[in-house]
């Protein structure tokens, strides 16, 4: 039996700049340009859609004529050419101005406090059938808390969650971090033959992207969303055989095994491009392997 209680406190760690902080200069430039009515144009006059590019408009005049919430007023926007800043590239000549690239710098910032426990249990016994062993390794992450990180004032993904343990994180500063993981290993050995069976467990954890995806999604998308990613268990199997050739030829170890023996379904995640959390789970499913190791004395 064994247990390790651990705790790390890291200050000014090198972190990728949060995207919201990286686009703050553009937001500031936009707010400044918005104060001057000479910086407004009709959105549908942007060159990709209009033979008369960048037609100027007055937001106050349009609002007075058609109303503040009218389609005409909403079409009178700040000219995107007036708030271009280095490090941010948007689609040129587009009425939506989709973000193409953002330059994220590395920053030394904030404090990360992480603690948890590792537990190990093991037992060996033997009888006429051979040597047996059973072992359990389990890790629990109690917290992975971020503080004073620029751009993270509203928490990870603006959820006001600052402790990433047991969550999907934000995918930038901290990745998915299930708070419970463990393995159960059972082995048998007799003479030249051996078997090993391994169960790998990943506990369920919270999907921080749920709320944003729910608010922006269609009814169909909402029906597929879940606030938590389910727990996951797989089984691996291996057979071993050792042959001692004697003399200078040495010995050979043969192994034949199956990873993810039952081809378990990976917990579904609607958010993301592959319908599952690629940071945590291996999407390859069942894999069969064979290995030969020849050792010469």
Same structural domain, 66 and 167: no
Same structural domain, 136 and 171: yes
Alpha helix (H) residue ranges in 34-137: 59-66, 71-74
Confidence (pLDDT) at 11: 94
Separation between Cα atoms, residue 118 and residue 100, nearest integer Å: 43
Strands (E), the chain: 2-16, 40-42, 76-78, 88-90, 99-102, 106-127, 130-147, 180-190, 193-202, 205-206, 228-229, 232-244, 251-259, 287-295
Is residue 171 predicted with pLDDT exceeding 90?
no
Same structural domain, 159 and 261: yes
Q: Which residues are bridge partners to 68 per DSSP?
A: none
Residue of 89 and 176 predicted with greater confidence = 176
Name the domain boundary from 77, 102, 127.
102
Residue 20 CA: distances (Å) to CA of 24, 27, 88, 251: 6, 10, 12, 60
Is residue 297 predicted with pLDDT exceeding 80?
no
Same structural domain, 33 and 7: no
How many domains would you assign to the chain? Answer: 2
Same structural domain, 57 and 176: no
Q: Mean pLDDT over residues 228-239, rounded? A: 97
Burial (CB count <10 Å: 0-12, 13-18, 19+), residue 64: exposed
Quickly tell me which residue has 């500063």 as its tokens: 173
Name the domain boundary from 102, 131, 161.
102
Same structural domain, 174 and 75: no
Same structural domain, 87 and 120: no
Confidence (pTM): 0.75
| Sequence-distant (≥ 6) Cβ neighbours of residue 280 within 8 angstroms | 176, 178, 202, 229
∠ CA 82-85-91, nearest 5°, is: 75
Tens-place pLDDT, residues 245-296:
877 788 899 999 999 999 999 999 998 778 999 999 999 999 999 999 998 8
Confidence (pLDDT) at 49: 62
Average pLDDT value over all residues in the chain: 92
**Structure-derived torsion over alpha carbons of residues 76, 80, 82, 84, reported in degrees to the nearest 10:** 160
Residue 11 CA: distances (Å) to CA of 95, 114, 147, 151: 43, 12, 10, 16
Same structural domain, 79 and 127: no
Lowest mean pLDDT among 72-86, 97-111, 196-210, 245-259: 97-111
Name the domain boundary from 56, 79, 102.
102
Same structural domain, 203 and 235: yes
Same structural domain, 158 and 275: yes
Q: Please give the biggest Cα pair distance in the chain.
A: 100
Write phi, then psi, for 83 (nearest 5 degrees): -130, 35
| 3 state SS of 210 | helix
Confidence (pLDDT) at 50: 62
| 3 state SS of 292 | strand
Write phi, then psi, for 135 (nearest 5 degrees): -140, 140
Confidence (pLDDT) at 20: 78
Tens-place pLDDT, residues 24-71:
899 999 999 999 999 999 998 888 766 678 899 999 999 999 999 999
Residue 73 CA: distances (Å) to CA of 27, 52, 57, 154: 21, 19, 9, 32
Q: Which residues are bridge partners to 185 per DSSP?
A: 135, 198
Burial letters 251-261, b for 16+ CB under 10 A, else e: eeeebebbbbb
Q: Mean pLDDT over residues 131-149, rounded? A: 96
- What is the domain range of residue 93? 19-102
Which DSSP state fits 171? S
Same structural domain, 61 and 116: no
Tens-place pLDDT, residues 179-219:
999 999 999 999 999 999 999 999 999 999 999 999 888 99
Residue of 109 and 169 predicted with greater confidence = 169
Same structural domain, 140 and 63: no
């Amino acid at each position: 039996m064994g247990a390790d209680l651990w705790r790390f406190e890291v200050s000014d760690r090198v972190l990728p700049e949060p995207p919201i902080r990286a686009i703050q200069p553009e937001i500031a430039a936009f707010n400044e340009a918005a104060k001057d009515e000479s910086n407004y144009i009709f959105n549908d006059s942007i060159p990709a859609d209009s033979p008369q590019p960048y037609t100027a408009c007055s937001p106050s005049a349009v609002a007075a004529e058609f109303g503040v919430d009218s389609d005409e007023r909403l079409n009178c926007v700040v000219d995107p050419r007036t708030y271009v800043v280095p490090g941010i590239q948007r689609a040129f000549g587009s009425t939506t101005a989709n973000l193409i690239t953002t330059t994220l710098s590395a920053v030394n910032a904030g404090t990360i406090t992480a603690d948890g426990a590792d537990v190990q249990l093991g037992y060996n016994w033997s009888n006429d059938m051979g040597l047996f062993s059973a072992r359990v390794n389990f890790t629990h992450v109690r917290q992975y808390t971020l503080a004073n990180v620029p751009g993270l004032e509203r928490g990870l993904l603006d959820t006001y969650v600052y402790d990433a343990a047991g969550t999907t994180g934000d995918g930038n500063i901290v990745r998915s971090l299930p708070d419970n993981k463990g393995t159960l290993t059972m082995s048998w050995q007799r003479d030249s033959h051996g078997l090993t069976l391994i169960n790998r467990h990943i506990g369920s954890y919270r999907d921080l992207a749920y709320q944003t995806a729910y608010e922006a999604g269609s009814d169909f998308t909402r029906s597929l969303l879940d606030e938590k990613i389910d727990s996951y268990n797989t089984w691996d199997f291996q057979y071993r055989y050792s042959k001692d050739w004697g003399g200078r030829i040495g010995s050979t170890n043969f192994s034949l095994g199956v990873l993810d023996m039952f081809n378990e379904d990976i917990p579904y995640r609607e958010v993301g491009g592959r319908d599952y959390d690629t940071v945590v789970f291996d999407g390859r499913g069942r894999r069969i392997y064979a290995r030969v190791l020849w050792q010469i004395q």
